[in-house]
Structure 1
Amino acid sequence: MKTKLSDCMRPLLGALLLGTTLLGTAHAEVRPLDRVVAIVDNDVVMQSQLNHRLQEVQQTIAKRGAALPPEHVLSQQVLERLIIENIQLQIGDRSGIRITDEELNQALATIAQRNGMSLEQFRAALARDGLSFADAREQVRREMVISRVRQRRVAERIQVTEQEVQNFLASDLGRMQLSEEFRLANILIPVPESASPENLQAAARQADELYQQLRQGADFAQLAIARSASETALEGGDMGWRKAAQLPPPFDAMVGALQPGEVTEPMRTPGGFIILKLLDKRGGGTQVRDEVHVRHILIKPSEIRSEAEAQRLAERLYERIQSGEDFGELAKSFSEDPGSALNGGDLNWIDPNALVPEFREVMSRTASGELSRPFKSPYGWHVLQVLGRRATDSSAQFREQQALNILRNRKYDEELQAWLRQIRDEAYVEIKL
């Protein structure tokens, strides 16, 4: 069964920012203008944005076969999501994050390719699903900005030590992560950082009430949409696939004991009370992984080097390598990746899944021994060279890389939720709805 293209795009794309219209009649009758439903720092959320996103969410929920919560409840959830997105977009604007036409075109071409289409077929499919190509570009642009904001503000601050990696590999969870993977959904009942005992008791009662409803057969996705404060609430709480080791204790052990369809009891976390549902699980055995031996030169924009200047420098370095200059020596002199510059830009053998999508995609298109043209990632401008490819099993090095990824993802999830709460608390938000 084919999935509707708009459904494929929704996990990747954000909401459409629709313009306002003024319609008149021959008798100069004026219909109401689009109105502001929330003031968010220096920007606003419009009723048209809320209506459009609300319609998308309602269609998604209906396709899952779940019952819709009351419209005013769903509307509040959707508006909160738009407010959080708006704050992040403003941070991106203040930080000078810009998405070029070339990057947008490449992203859309990638989406089309993943759906087995050419770009023209992709345009036609969008039209059949009621989406214009211009709207799709805007959705992609917003999501790319938000992704880069999170990369700069959250991901780059996360550090995992070698001792943490070794401790993890020696743990029961470290051994478990190679065998099983879980698809989870969650419901979060939030608790303020400075919550009073009364606030805590009220949140605990609310979480227990939801847990009892779930035990009696209530629909988890519907309750998540209506009651959860999690970032995945509008997706029915669906968190996707996670290794047990990515889950903070005690959920790691609790989820491992569940069968698909079962839920955990409410558990206290720094953000509030969480209930998890196990949607599915999979696992297994030794897996062969492709690894790539790659080296690169990274040029970062900065306060004294503009985006355009960083791009021009990367292009000059590319031309010098093409003219015969030594890649390693240029990397030592110019690369701003502290982890590889002193080694001539060498990243050694690496699992492509450990790399950001922009780097991974260019690397996959570059033949062994070949040099890529300069390209941009959230870190800056790169020139890379693929030195070789191989297939490998779960060797010690591979296990360490997997452990590093899992620990980083765990810290990222926790840090992201804390950061989103922080920017929401610090922003000026006035609800007009």
Structure 2
Amino acid sequence: MKLGTFGRAALMLAGSVAAVAAVAQTVGDDEGVPANPLNIPADPEIFGSTDPSVVKATAIINGEIITATDIDHRLALIVLANGGAGRIPPEEMQRLRAQVLRNLVDETLQIQAAAGADIKVEPAEIDNYFKQYSSNFGRQPEEFAAYLRSQGSSERSIKRQIHGEIAWTRLQRRQIEPFVSVGEEEVQTIIDRLNASKGQQEYRIAEIFLSSTPETAAETRANAGRIVEQLRNGASFLAYARQFSEASTAAVGGDLGWVRAEQLPERLAEVAVALPVGQISEPIAIPGGYSILAVQDARQILTSDPRDAVLSLKQLSITFPEGMTRDQAAPRVEQLAQLGQTMGGCGRAEQAAATIGAEVVSSDQVKVRDLPPALQQMMLQLNIGQATTPFGSFEDGVRILVLCGRDDPAASSEPSFDQVYEQLNEERVNRRAQRYLRDLRRDAVVDYR
């Protein structure tokens, strides 16, 4: 059995206790006094928690230890992604802990399976991914590591997750993908269906999939329901998908990309068609478990969408001193609104902004669909040189957008053979990967503590 540092320390501690007990027994006998004057039982029952400074094993998977600290650090990542502990009810935290433990068990099995197949993930690769991850937060790796510690997590926790994702992806490429086949006729059939469906709706879908058996279906359904509740209360779908989804798309936040209803299983298709954009579904029972869907966008197949237009914008923003009331700030907001209507377009934006102390920021590659829904319709109705009405908040600043240019989208063309092939291939790899992970769970020796 692979004990690692923790296991060796535990054996050393056990040996030390045994040695001390032996010495105590010898001293008692030599001095003619009872060896146990306090009448302490040889095998006492301990009531209450042990020393919290000791990192205890929570599970041992094929000899590899997951500690309570590992769970705490991974749980802190979920809390951080959802805006802090105040966003997650206390009763939900314990359920999240149980789910995080299950995820860490799966992650360990995936890493072990990859190692057993002689798949290596070099530390330098993990460091590079961590550097990219840090840059998404606008920090250098050292700064981000310190930030994680301040939030109750650790650099090690994220790096272990990165290790697991790389190892599992490479294992799928070696053990699963070579045995998945997609025929040319299948691909052409889908392309023909797409052409026949021109003008119909397709959807940008994200999914969280939780597997279950008939015996665990009720528990999995309840867990999925709790996740839906958290998502509807503002939790990050991307973060929950990365941590909890058992589909291969977990690493990309559950993103399935653009799909038509007929490309989805029948039950998922029914929900996707009926679900408004931006909404989260109830847990959906499908073969093998439950899915949670988020419809992130919708558009017509093989038809140009005005929201794919690329905009050139200038943003004028004003901020307010701390403590300023809404009534005190209102005249400045009105001043910004008037400026947007009278400044004469983007060419005079800087000059006009200076008159009221506004900040100007330019951007030339903004897709309409990437803007908040409330702004999309407003931007599509503007002519070049016109500005939106003010928006934002008194805490973060109020701003207007001035339209400087717009490149309208070209008519959509049919998807390429390669695009359809890749999607079909990914779906089949995903299903086989789920079965493979179930086999790993079935054959594992897992000791929960």
User: What amino acid maps onto 1:39 in structure 2?
Assistant: I
The answer as to 2:302 corresponding to 1:280 is no
CA separation in 2, counterparts of 1:209 and 1:127?
Answer: 33
The answer as to 2:70 corresponding to 1:49 is yes
1:26 equivalent in structure 2: none
Q: Would the aligned equivalents of 1:267 and 1:275 in 2 still touch at CA under 8 Å? A: yes
Q: Would the aligned equivalents of 1:41 and 1:429 in 2 still touch at CA under 8 Å? A: yes
The answer as to 2:442 corresponding to 1:425 is yes
CA shift digits 1:372-419 (9 cap, x unpaired) = xxxxxxxxxxxxxxxxxxxx99666x5212211221222233222222
Q: CA RMSD in A?
A: 4.9
For 1:250, what is the secondary structure of its paired residue? helix
CA shift digits 1:40-79 (9 cap, x unpaired) = 1232222221222223223334449454544432221111
2:118 equivalent in structure 1: 96
For 1:171, what is the secondary structure of its paired residue? helix
- Determine which of 250, 259, 264 is the counterpart of 1:244: 259
CA shift digits 1:5-45 (9 cap, x unpaired) = xxxxxxxxxxxx997999xxxxxxx8763222112123222
Matches within 5 A, 1:310-325: none
CA shift digits 1:144-192 (9 cap, x unpaired) = 2233223323333322111110121222598479963324344647224
Matches within 5 A, 1:126-275: 126-130=145-149, 139-171=161-193, 175=197, 180-186=202-208, 188=210, 190-192=212-214, 199=215, 203=217, 207=221, 230-231=245-246, 239-245=254-260, 247-262=264-279, 267-272=284-289, 274-275=290-291
CA separation in 2, counterparts of 1:238 and 1:136?
Answer: 15
Matches within 5 A, 1:329-340: none
2:364 equivalent in structure 1: none
The answer as to 2:135 corresponding to 1:123 is no
Q: Would the aligned equivalents of 2:82 and 2:234 in 1 still touch at CA under 8 Å? A: no
Size of the aligned set, in residue pairs, is 290
User: What amino acid maps onto 2:97 in structure 1?
Assistant: S
TM-aligned CA distance change 1:159 to 1:400, over 3 Å: same
User: What amino acid maps onto 2:169 in structure 1?
Assistant: S
CA separation in 2, counterparts of 1:80 and 1:141?
Answer: 17
For 1:181, what is the secondary structure of its paired residue? strand
TM-aligned CA distance change 1:251 to 1:174, over 3 Å: farther
TM-aligned CA distance change 1:270 to 1:166, over 3 Å: same
CA separation in 1, counterparts of 2:97 and 2:158?
Answer: 23
CA separation in 2, counterparts of 1:81 and 1:128?
Answer: 24
CA separation in 1, counterparts of 2:82 and 2:200?
Answer: 33
CA separation in 2, counterparts of 1:205 and 1:82?
Answer: 19
TM-aligned CA distance change 1:179 to 1:405, over 3 Å: farther
- Gaps of at least 5 residues in structure 2 are 11-50, 309-409
- Gaps of at least 5 residues in structure 1 are 1-16, 23-29, 193-198, 289-391
TM-score (norm 2): 0.51
For 2:422, what is the secondary structure of its paired residue? helix
CA shift digits 1:334-371 (9 cap, x unpaired) = xxxxxxxxxxxxxxxxxxxxxxxxxxxxxxxxxxxxxx
1:329 equivalent in structure 2: none
CA shift digits 1:275-317 (9 cap, x unpaired) = 53434214464599xxxxxxxxxxxxxxxxxxxxxxxxxxxxx
2:80 equivalent in structure 1: 59
TM-aligned CA distance change 1:410 to 1:280, over 3 Å: same
Q: Would the aligned equivalents of 2:126 and 2:163 in 1 still touch at CA under 8 Å? A: yes
User: What amino acid maps onto 1:124 in structure 2?
Assistant: E
User: What amino acid maps onto 1:74 in structure 2?
Assistant: L
1:87 equivalent in structure 2: 109
CA separation in 2, counterparts of 1:208 and 1:51?
Answer: 23
Matches within 5 A, 1:105-120: 105-108=127-130, 110-111=132-133
CA separation in 2, counterparts of 1:93 and 1:269?
Answer: 32
Q: Would the aligned equivalents of 2:110 and 2:168 in 1 still touch at CA under 8 Å? A: yes
- Determine which of 73, 85, 94 is the counterpart of 2:95: 73
Identity among equivalent pairs (%): 20
User: What amino acid maps onto 2:115 in structure 1?
Assistant: D
Q: Would the aligned equivalents of 1:244 and 1:256 in 2 still touch at CA under 8 Å? A: no
CA separation in 2, counterparts of 1:133 and 1:77?
Answer: 21
TM-aligned CA distance change 1:248 to 1:77, over 3 Å: same
TM-aligned CA distance change 1:394 to 1:280, over 3 Å: closer
The answer as to 2:51 corresponding to 1:34 is no
The answer as to 2:430 corresponding to 1:408 is no
Q: Would the aligned equivalents of 2:73 and 2:157 in 1 still touch at CA under 8 Å? A: no
TM-score (norm 1): 0.52
